[in-house]
């Protein structure tokens, strides 16, 4: 045990002998809960390295990237070299061989510097499906949503029919992050309409490819340095071997991928929330009004306190979900809770940060307005807050056997 | 030739932190303050790792003298590519009084013990700005020294060095074994990659005490008082050169 684990364990000893069933339920659900008080040394070094990188390389250019809609290609490449884009890939295959908690920390620190770069890192993890087909440097994207259905993922109207030794896909996918920069995409299409969501299958399509075209880059409110576009499939033909997993398993694959993806997006939202808090606290220190720094005023202190509690509780939920995933335990509910808490923390903190900054919060000279715009999407993509509540609710009911 | 390089790394208060003097004026506040590796030490580690990548040296050993937390600094050096670490434990009052002379004695003893071919250090630490450890270590070992290095290249058993001095750049050639201290423009330290951070976990850090190396830590210096620099006074603008000369004469400066 490390020094940190030992001290936390000593603190928890009295509680371990408490006969409360709720406590034992909690402990059996996450045997590493006591580790959350202090991160292991490797994770601390990782977090510091990513923080240094974000402070030196991302924060100075974030405003410019946002204003000019420029994709941070050089920085993404550098992060790739550092291993941040392949955190879970084993060392033998050139990855970092680290766990999901490490990945979550990395995404949070990068998003603190630049949310658009963070979202690239968060979406990268879905590459595991594309790994066999592309080399390490290439980027993939995940195409589930359609113009006619986002939350209603089971109603995929993109169709796939078999013709000889090929699949032929027709339809449109919407809101695809990294669409313009990807070398391959995972597309979810209906193979058997009668089976409803059990009739959806996953397909890998390399890009560019005949029959696959990209729509225009969306002009978004936030995360403007990251590209979002439609993917249009018109008689797009791919070999039979390009189906991922068994026929009809598409919906399940999508949901499983989303579970992990939610931890990534939660981490990104945490980064934005933390950046807002840092910005507000720094301003409260420097700005004087009524004869003293505004940080002395209770109104400001209460805001900062609420922001800090929101961030820290969301962070612990995110770490817990990551630790559960690392222990290969079920983590669907915790991932949904993390994403819900973190995205709402991001919008809350960025909103309050503008309030603390007053007029300065409304102009582009300070990053507060960019955080406000970047935070908003976190409550929508990778499952809206409403969907997260549905997921949590149904998981809870299962636990209570209702 | 052992092909072994010792790199000294010092744990200092992070460069971005605002330094505050303790209320009793005995020193600066260090409790709970963010610490990191001295920037010039980072440059030294980077240079050592680069030499290893070029296969000009075989092993990089990171050394730090200080309390338990110095191991974090050594761990960072390992994550950057050092092979193993040595932590010389100095804590409490001894640590407060630890200065370049004692550290040089420790480094000199280690260099002999480890049969080092080269000692790479930062030119100075950003907390005390002494700029003495490299020079003292070389003197104690009777080794040549190349300080303020902005370029280092190994040529057989000699080192070609470019030094940044007040007059410009000085090119020298020194024999090995030698002590080299790194200046700002020697290189740009790398960010530790995640695979290297994981590998660093498995690398060994040996711990020892100064007494094990036969080093006496008694300080010849006594800190009397630490105080903040005086608050900067506002300047004044003058219209002409004559006014400037007049004002300087008035103030008794010329």
Interface test with B, best of A82, A91, A99, A125 (most B CBs within 10 A): A82
Average pLDDT over residues B80-96: 94
Q: Which residue of A has its CA nearest to B71?
A: A41
Report the CATH number at residue B16.
3.40.50.620
What total of structural domains would you count in chain B? 1
Query: What residue has token string 């993922």?
Result: A153
A42, A53, A87 ranked by CB distance to B201: nearest? A42
Task: Answer whether A18's CB lies under 8 Å from A47's CB.
Answer: no
B191 to A87: CB separation less than 8 angstroms, yes or no: no
Angle, helices A100-113/A250-286, rounded to nearest 10 degrees: 50
Q: Which residue of A has its CA nearest to B77?
A: A45
Beta-carbon contacts of B215 under 8 Å, excluding residues fewer than 6 positions away, are B102, B105, B106, B109
Strand partners, B152: B161
Q: What one-character DSSP code corresponds to residue A58?
A: I
* Lowest-pLDDT range of B19-23, B161-165, B190-194: B190-194
Residues of A at the B interface, defined by Cβ within 8 angstroms: 41-42, 44-46, 48-49, 52-53, 78, 81-84, 87, 91, 94-98, 102, 106
B195 to A83: CB separation less than 8 angstroms, yes or no: yes
Beta-carbon contacts of A117 under 8 Å, excluding residues fewer than 6 positions away, are A58, A72, A75, A76, A79, A110, A111, A225, A226
* Cβ neighbours around B124 below 10 Å, total: 23
Whether residue B7 is predicted with pLDDT greater than 90 in this model: the reply is yes
Task: Answer whether A83's CB lies under 8 Å from A96's CB.
Answer: yes
- pLDDT on residue B185: 95
B194 to A106: CB separation less than 8 angstroms, yes or no: yes
Beta-carbon contacts of A346 under 8 Å, excluding residues fewer than 6 positions away, are A269, A270, A272, A273, A276, A371, A375, A378, A379
Distance to chain B for A89, nearest Cα, Å: 10
* Strand locations in B96-230 (E): 118-122, 145-155, 158-165, 168-175, 178-182, 205-208
Task: Answer whether A271's CB lies under 8 Å from A117's CB.
Answer: no
Catalytic annotation, residues of A: 382
Whether residue B195 is predicted with pLDDT greater than 70 in this model: the reply is yes
Query: Distance between CA A374 and CA A377 in Å, rounded?
Result: 6
Query: Distance between CA B20 and CA A196 in Å, rounded?
Result: 66
Residues B207, B211, B215, B218: is their CA dihedral positive or negative?
positive
Domains identified in chain A and CATH numbers: 41-133 (1.10.540.10), 140-247 (2.40.110.10), 251-400 (1.20.140.10)
Q: Which two tokens stand for residue A91?
A: 């060392």
Task: Answer whether A172's CB lies under 8 Å from A150's CB.
Answer: no
Residues B194, B195, B196, B199: is their CA dihedral positive or negative?
positive
Spell A237-275 as b/e; 16+ CB within 10 A means b: bbeeebbbeebbbbbebbbebbbbbbbbbbbbbbbbbbb
A45 to B193: CB separation less than 8 angstroms, yes or no: no
Interface test with A, best of B197, B201, B202, B205 (most A CBs within 10 A): B197
Q: What was the ipTM of the complex prediction?
A: 0.73
Q: With an 8 Å Cβ cutoff, is B200 touching chain A?
A: yes
Q: What one-character DSSP code corresponds to residue B143?
A: -
Q: What one-character DSSP code corresponds to residue A149?
A: B
Measure CA A19 to chain center: 37
Q: Which tens digits make up the pLDDT trace of B138-156?
A: 999 999 999 999 999 999 8
B79 to A95: CB separation less than 8 angstroms, yes or no: no
**Longest pairwise C-alpha distance within chain A:** 80
Q: Which two tokens stand for residue A100?
A: 């999901």
Task: Answer whether A188's CB lies under 8 Å from A200's CB.
Answer: yes
Q: Which tens digits make up the pLDDT trace of B235-254?
A: 888 899 999 999 899 888 88
Query: What residue has token string 């010849």?
Result: B220
Query: Distance between CA B215 and CA B89 in Å, rounded?
Result: 12
Q: Which two tokens stand for residue A114?
A: 């630049």
- pLDDT on residue A128: 60
Q: Which residue of A has its CA nearest to B201?
A: A42
Interface test with A, best of B70, B72, B194 (most A CBs within 10 A): B194
Q: With an 8 Å Cβ cutoff, is B72 touching chain A?
A: yes
B198 to A49: CB separation less than 8 angstroms, yes or no: no
Low-confidence ranges of chain A (pLDDT < 70): 1-37, 91-95, 124-138, 402
A49 to B201: CB separation less than 8 angstroms, yes or no: no
pTM of the predicted model as reported, rounded to 2 decimal places: 0.81
Spell A148-173 as b/e; 16+ CB within 10 A means b: eebeebeebebebeeeeeebbbbbbb
Whether residue B92 is predicted with pLDDT greater than 70 in this model: the reply is yes
Q: With an 8 Å Cβ cutoff, is B197 touching chain A?
A: yes
Measure CA B28 to chain center: 19
Q: With an 8 Å Cβ cutoff, is B194 touching chain A?
A: yes
Measure CA A223 to chain center: 13
Q: With an 8 Å Cβ cutoff, is B193 touching chain A?
A: yes
Range of the domain at B69: 4-250
Measure CA A139 to chain center: 16
Q: With an 8 Å Cβ cutoff, is B128 touching chain A?
A: no
Q: In a 10 Å sphere around its CB, with 0-12 CB exposed, 13-18 middle and 19+ buried, how is residue A62 labelled?
A: buried
């Amino acid at each position: 045990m490390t020094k940190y684990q030992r001290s936390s364990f000593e603190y928890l000893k009295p509680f371990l002998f408490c006969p409360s069933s709720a406590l034992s339920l909690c402990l059996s659900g996450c045997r590493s809960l006591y580790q959350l008080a202090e991160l292991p040394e490797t994770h601390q070094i990782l977090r510091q390295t990513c923080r240094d990188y974000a402070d030196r390389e991302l924060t100075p250019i974030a405003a410019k990237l946002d204003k000019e809609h420029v994709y941070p290609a050089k920085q993404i490449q550098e992060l790739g070299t550092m291993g941040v884009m392949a955190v879970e890939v084993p060392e033998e295959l050139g990855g970092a061989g680290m766990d999901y908690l490490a990945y979550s920390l990395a995404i949070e620190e990068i998003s603190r510097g630049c949310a658009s770069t963070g979202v690239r890192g968060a979406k990268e993890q879905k590459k595991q499906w594309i790994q066999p087909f592309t080399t390490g440097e290439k980027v993939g994207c995940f195409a589930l949503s359609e113009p006619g259905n986002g939350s209603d993922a089971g109603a995929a109207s993109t169709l796939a029919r078999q013709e000889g030794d090929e699949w032929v896909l027709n339809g449109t996918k919407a809101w695809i992050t990294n669409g313009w920069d990807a070398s391959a995409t995972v597309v979810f299409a209906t193979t058997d309409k009668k089976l409803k969501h059990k009739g959806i299958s996953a397909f890998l399509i390399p890009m560019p490819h005949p029959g696959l075209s990209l729509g225009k880059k969306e002009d978004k409110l936030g995360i403007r340095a990251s590209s979002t576009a439609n993917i249009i499939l018109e008689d797009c033909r791919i070999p039979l071997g390009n189906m991922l997993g068994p026929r009809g398993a598409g919906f399940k694959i999508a949901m499983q991928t989303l579970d992990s993806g939610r931890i990534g997006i939660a981490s990104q939202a945490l980064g934005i929330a933390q950046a807002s808090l840092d910005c507000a606290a720094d301003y409260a220190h420097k700005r004087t009004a009524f004869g003293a720094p505004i940080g002395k005023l209770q109104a400001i202190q209460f805001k900062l306190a609420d922001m800090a509690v929101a961030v820290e509780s969301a962070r612990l939920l995110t770490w817990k979900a990551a630790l559960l995933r690392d222990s290969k335990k079920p983590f669907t509910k915790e991932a949904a809770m993390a994403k819900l808490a973190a995205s709402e923390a991001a919008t809350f903190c960025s909103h309050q940060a503008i309030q603390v900054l007053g007029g300065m919060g409304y102009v582009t000279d300070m990053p507060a307005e960019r955080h406000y715009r970047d935070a908003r999407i976190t409550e929508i993509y990778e499952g809206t807050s409403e969907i997260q509540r549905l997921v949590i609710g149904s998981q809870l009911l299962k636990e209570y056997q209702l | 030739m052992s092909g072994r390089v010792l790199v000294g790394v010092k744990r200092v208060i992070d460069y971005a932190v605002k330094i505050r003097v303790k209320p009793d004026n005995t020193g600066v506040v260090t409790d709970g303050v963010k610490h990191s590796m001295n920037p010039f030490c980072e440059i030294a580690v980077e240079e050592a790792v680069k030499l290893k990548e070029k296969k000009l040296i075989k092993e990089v050993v990171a050394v730090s003298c200080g309390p338990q937390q110095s191991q974090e600094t050594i761990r960072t050096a390992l994550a950057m590519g050092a092979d193993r670490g040595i932590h010389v434990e100095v804590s409490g009052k001894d640590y407060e009084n630890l200065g370049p002379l004692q550290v040089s004695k420790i480094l000199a003893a280690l260099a002999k013990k480890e049969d080092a071919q080269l000692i790479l250090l930062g030119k100075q630490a950003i907390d005390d700005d002494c700029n003495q450890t490299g020079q003292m270590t070389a003197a104690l070992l009777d080794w040549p020294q190349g300080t303020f290095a902005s370029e280092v290249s190994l040529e057989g058993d000699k080192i070609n060095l470019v030094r940044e001095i007040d007059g410009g750049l000085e090119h020298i050639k020194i024999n090995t074994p030698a002590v080299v201290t790194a200046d700002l423009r020697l290189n740009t330290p790398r960010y530790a990659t995640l695979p290297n951070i994981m590998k660093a976990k498995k690398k060994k850090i040996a711990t020892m005490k100064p007494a094990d190396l036969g080093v006496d830590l008694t300080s010849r210096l006594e800190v009397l008082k630490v105080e903040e620099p005086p608050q900067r006074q506002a300047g004044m603008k003058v219209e002409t050169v004559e006014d400037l000369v007049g004002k300087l004469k008035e103030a008794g400066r010329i």
